[in-house]
Structure 1
Amino acid sequence: MPRRDTLPPTASVTTPQDNDRLYAPSAARNVADVVEVAKMHAPVDEGKALELASGTGQHIIALATALPRFQWQPTEVDADRRKSINAYIAESALSNITAAIPLDATATGWGATHTGQSLIMLSNLLHLISTPETQTLIREAAIALAPGGVLMVYGPFMRDGEMTSDGDTSFHQSLQDADPEIGYKSDFDVLEWGQSHFLDYLDMVEMPANNLSILWRKPE
């Protein structure tokens, strides 16, 4: 998982709120768009939904509100962020979210212990981890998905190996200055990594601020 103590300050900006909650401006900006794509492509049937690297907890509340037929499980490797997630859950009083659990989405083996997922969500992580870690995460997610289940990843990507703006170029370089193994991944590379684990391409959606959502479905 990302080594936050070595990342540039722009990589993960949060501010403390009351009752252990953390607030990420980036999550507040993109949550509505992420939810709309998830609603568009989520499986029709009810089931289990897993959010990887849930961060502050802002996304999981919006997802569970918009997709109430799923039972949501937030995960986060960082203890302070798990406290924030649980504080948001308590404030929401939603019954379809369970307490956050520790999970390193880049580790081998978690997929086999979280099988049967109808929907797996991930936002703003792939640029903060290495290529091998990204490949491991996608492989484990493919194992965890139920037949017909959907994996959605959101964040900044290169397009066919090329940066799309000066701001993205600068941010990518700042990440690589902090850790040469991390940085933006190319959209088609990520898509192919999912397909290499027998996930079918579902959609690739351009999002605001040069972000992208990539979605796969596990065959029935």
Structure 2
Amino acid sequence: MSQGSQTINQEMPPLDPHPLSEYVAWAGSRNREPILGVLREKLPKDPERVLELASGSGMHINYFAPHFNHLHFQPSDRDIEVFDNIRKVTSEQGNDNIADPVHLDLTKPETWFNPGSAKSFAAIFCINIFQVAPISIADGMMQCAEHLLKDDGFLLIYGPFHFNGVFSTDSNRQFHETLSSAGVAEWGLKDVADLEKAATNHGMELKEKIEMPSNNFSLIFGKTRKL
């Protein structure tokens, strides 16, 4: 059975950021229901397209899609090696409102679809990427969102963060220290201030900060209103 449709062990596996790892599956099974609650409030009621960045195994998009039959979901990832798993999970679960995954690398604008795709998505979401990705991809993410989102669309970024150098909880500080101790330069919680800076550079702004279980946050970005 493909990863993303299997039963998840409740005991925390060893830390491993690979999208098909047991750790990522375990973490995803813990956060998907609270994120679904946010999406129920934020996603449009009319037929629209929704893009997931860094879809990984496809566990989240395949969990969310059946709850929004009127929406068309587009998975994407920079690593094409995960595409077969996304397709398998989609097929196993019979989700016919999920498109075939596409290659999208936030460091390569040429992969952000073609010029005709401008303003073609009502929403974009990205889950648990910044604790193991360099903050530099925030610039690409905001530029990508500026290009692909409709004027009233939103970008949801979910995960643990700190704010202006301050951790919201001791557990988040400990998680940051655990990640940092792995010896990988980009691992660690990122500062929301840096995301906001990248957003400002590309006509986006932080609209809402939603506190989530396990000391995580859903950050809702939208296009800056023009006066």
User: CA deviation digits over 1:108-161, x for unaligned, max 9?
Assistant: 343463431111110011122222222222222221112211111101101332
Q: Which residue of 2 aligns with 1:19?
A: none
**Partner Cα distance (1:23, 1:128) in 2:** 12
- What's the offset of the Cα at 1:192? 3.8
The answer (yes or no) to whether the contact 2:17–2:132 under 8 Å persists in 1 is no
The answer (yes or no) to whether the contact 1:86–1:99 under 8 Å persists in 2 is yes
Q: Which residue of 1 aligns with 2:76?
A: 75
- What's the offset of the Cα at 1:204? 0.9
- What's the offset of the Cα at 1:63? 1.9
The answer (yes or no) to whether the contact 2:196–2:205 under 8 Å persists in 1 is no
User: CA deviation digits over 1:140-192, x for unaligned, max 9?
Assistant: 22211122111111011013321233443233234334222442111233234
**Partner Cα distance (2:78, 2:174) in 1:** 27
**Partner Cα distance (1:158, 1:186) in 2:** 5
Alignment of 1:104-183 (within 5 A): 104-111=105-112, 113=114, 114-115=117-118, 116-177=120-181, 178-183=183-188
Q: Which residue of 1 aligns with 2:17?
A: 12
**Partner Cα distance (2:16, 2:218) in 1:** 19
TM-score by length of 1: 0.82
The answer (yes or no) to whether the contact 1:89–1:99 under 8 Å persists in 2 is no
User: CA deviation digits over 1:72-97, x for unaligned, max 9?
Assistant: 11012334422221111001212210
User: Are 1:212 and 2:226 counterparts?
Assistant: no
**Partner Cα distance (1:191, 1:140) in 2:** 15
Identical amino acids, percent of aligned pairs: 26
The answer (yes or no) to whether the contact 2:17–2:24 under 8 Å persists in 1 is no
3-state DSSP class of the match of 1:158? strand
After superposition, the Cα gap between the structure-2 partners of 1:175 and 1:197, relative to the gap in structure 1 and judged at 3 Å, is same
**Partner Cα distance (1:217, 1:137) in 2:** 12
Amino acid at match of 2:209: M
User: Are 1:193 and 2:193 counterparts?
Assistant: no
3-state DSSP class of the match of 2:190? coil
User: Are 1:101 and 2:102 counterparts?
Assistant: yes
3-state DSSP class of the match of 1:201? strand
**Partner Cα distance (2:216, 2:108) in 1:** 25
Structure 2: 5+ residue stretches without partners: 1-13
Structure 1: 5+ residue stretches without partners: 1-8, 17-21
- What's the offset of the Cα at 1:23? 7.0
* Number of matched pairs: 207
The more displaced of 71-80 and 201-210 is 71-80
Amino acid at match of 1:208: P
Q: Which residue of 2 aligns with 1:36?
A: 37
The more displaced of 105-114 and 183-192 is 105-114
3-state DSSP class of the match of 2:46? coil
Structure 1 residue ranges, 4+ long, deviating more than 6 angstroms after superposition: none
RMSD: 2.4
Higher relative CO (CA 8 A, sep ≥ 6), structure 1 or 2? 1
